Amino acid sequence: MVELAWSWLRFQPHSELAKWFEHRFGHGGRRMRRIGIVALARKLLVALWKYVEKDELPAGQIIRTVG
């Protein structure tokens, strides 16, 4: 989940979760960002569970299609 959270920050920088992370942990040091990424991973897990169960996309997420 932590690796997925880092990827989320990289590929979904305009989502609400990424904005929350940057606001809360973006200006901290390396240790704070590592603590923050675990918090983001937990929030992302809940958001993805809501997507699977209720078909509810995380706020601000951009879906890209191939082709």
* C-alpha distances out from residue 53 to 2, 6, 25, 46, 47, Å: 22, 24, 29, 10, 10
3-state secondary structure 3-33: HHHHHHHHHCCCCHHHHHHHHHHCCCCHHHH
Question: How far is Cα 59 from Cα 16, in angstroms, rounded to an integer?
Answer: 6
User: Structure tokens of 4?
Assistant: 């997925």
CA-wise closest residue to 56 among 46, 65, 64, 66: 46
- Domain extents for the chain? 2-54
**pLDDT tens, 8-21?**
999 888 889 999 99
**pLDDT tens, 31-59?**
999 999 999 999 999 988 988 888 777 77
